[in-house]
Structure formats: C-alpha cells, structure tokens
C-alpha cells in the first residue's frame, strides 16, 4: 500500500507498506488512531498515545482560517480511502500532501539541532565550517557570512523573488534563529520539550512570513 510517511523534523516521503493493522502500528510505533481532517478521500494515521508517551512533536493541524487546533506527536502517515478500508494514496494526492507537509518544522529542527541542509540544498564545506560553535561565539563577521550563504541557497530554490523586501524578511528570520543557536543550543541538548517548543514557535513565524513556500 502506497502511503506518505511524515516523521518529526524530516521531509515527507513515499513509502510502500503491507496493508493491515500490524504494519500500520509498526509505522507509527504503537496503537493507531485514524483521523479525517481533510475533504480529500484520505486518512491521517498516527500514534493514539503519541502525546501521552512524550513522542516528538511533528506537524500542526490547522483549520480553514489557518489556526492551529492540534499538533501530531510522533510519526504519522497519509493513506487513501477505499470502500471499506485504507488504500493506496493516489499520485496527485501524494504530491499534494508532500507539499503540504514540507513544513518549516523540518527546516527549523535541522537548522538548530543537526547538520544544516535547508530545503534539500547542501552547504559547501566552507559554509559548514561557519557553523562551529567557536565561530558562532567569537567571529565578529560570522553573522554576515552566514546570512549571505543561507540567503543565496533560499533564493536558489526559485520560489522567492530577489528583492529588498524578501532580503529584509530572510535577514530577520535567520538573525533570530542564529541568536537561538548561540544562546540556547547548549541548553537544549537532551531537553526534548524545549527543542519542540522552539521548533513550533519559529515554524509558525516562518509559515506566516513566507506562506508561498507552504501552500496547502
């Protein structure tokens, strides 16, 4: 059965799993819960006890006004709906929900807490060198080097127009995120709740600033 797999902090990907309860439970690491938040014939299947078990927060669910009404904890998947059970997710819906769940959470979590490869674009070895804690804390030119490198990669995606307004938006967002890296990264090591809060907070700001990246 072809499904869309969505893991915390990762880019959504197509997966092929066996139909049936056991494979669904294995995919979400526990008891399953199926919800139907969309008009399309799809199901969102998640871990029924995800929040209770303290699984990492994954993606937010939003109402028609764009307001968050719930956050999924742990892995979840999107399936199609057949007459009596779950079914393959059609190719057009696969692409639609891949785009929908290419959320800023992935970028923020990767940016702050792991090796940085934003939006699927790898930084050069020289640019990666800029991300050492020594440079972040002592190099006076670091912020400008960093902003220039990231701004170029973001523009290369081809979604945003190169203009002064977007330069200001990108600079504002990256400067704020850089500040969190410098101030809080050592403090968040091993603190999953603090990491999740930072990721969700910054993700909301990014989504509101650049909605063209995350259209449903």
Tokens of 54: 């303290």
- Of 102, 134, 165, at which residue does a domain stop? 102
pLDDT at residue 196 in the model: 72
- Of 72, 102, 132, at which residue does a domain stop? 102
Q: State whether 133 and 60 are in the same domain.
A: no
Residue where the block lists tokens 């699984």 = 55
Per the DSSP assignment, residues forming a β-bridge with 3 are: 15
Q: State whether 120 and 204 are in the same domain.
A: yes
Contact 50, 75 (CB under 8 A): no
Contact 131, 87 (CB under 8 A): no
Tokens of 63: 């109402």
pLDDT at residue 119 in the model: 36
Q: Residue 41: pLDDT band by 50, 70, 90 thresholds?
A: very high
Q: State whether 36 and 126 are in the same domain.
A: no
Tokens of 197: 């809060």
Higher-confidence residue of 103 and 31: namely: 31
pTM for this predicted structure: 0.55
**Structural domain tally of the chain?**
2
Q: State whether 98 and 113 are in the same domain.
A: no
pLDDT at residue 57 in the model: 77
Tokens of 31: 């008891």
Structural domain boundaries, residue 126: 106-213
Hey, CA dihedral for 124, 125, 131, 137, is it positive or negative? negative
Start-to-end C-alpha separation, the chain: 24
Q: State whether 145 and 74 are in the same domain.
A: no
Q: State whether 69 and 147 are in the same domain.
A: no
Question: Which range among 34-43, 69-78, 96-105 shows the weakest confidence by mean pLDDT?
Answer: 96-105
In the predicted model, what is the mean pLDDT of the chain?
76
Q: State whether 62 and 131 are in the same domain.
A: no
């Amino acid at each position: 059965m072809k499904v869309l797999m969505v893991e915390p902090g990762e880019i959504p990907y197509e997966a092929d799993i066996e139909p049936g309860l056991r494979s669904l439970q294995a995919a979400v690491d526990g008891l399953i819960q199926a919800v139907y938040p969309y008009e399309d014939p799809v199901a969102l299947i998640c871990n029924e006890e995800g929040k209770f078990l303290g699984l990492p927060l994954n993606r937010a669910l939003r109402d028609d006004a764009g307001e968050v009404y719930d956050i999924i904890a742990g892995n979840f998947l999107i399936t199609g709906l057949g007459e009596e059970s779950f079914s393959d997710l059609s190719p057009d819906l696969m692409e639609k929900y891949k785009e929908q769940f290419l959320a800023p959470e992935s970028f923020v979590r990767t940016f702050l807490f792991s090796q940085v490869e934003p939006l699927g674009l790898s930084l050069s070895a020289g640019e990666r060198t800029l991300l050492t804690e020594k440079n972040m804390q002592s190099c006076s030119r670091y912020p400008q080097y960093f902003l220039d490198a990231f701004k170029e990669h973001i523009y290369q995606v081809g979604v945003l127009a190169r203009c002064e307004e977007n330069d200001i938006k990108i600079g504002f967002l990256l400067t704020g995120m850089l500040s969190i890296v410098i101030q809080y990264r050592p403090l968040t090591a091993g603190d999953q709740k603090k990491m999740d809060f930072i990721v969700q907070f910054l993700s909301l700001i990014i989504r509101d600033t650049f909605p063209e990246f995350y259209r449903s």
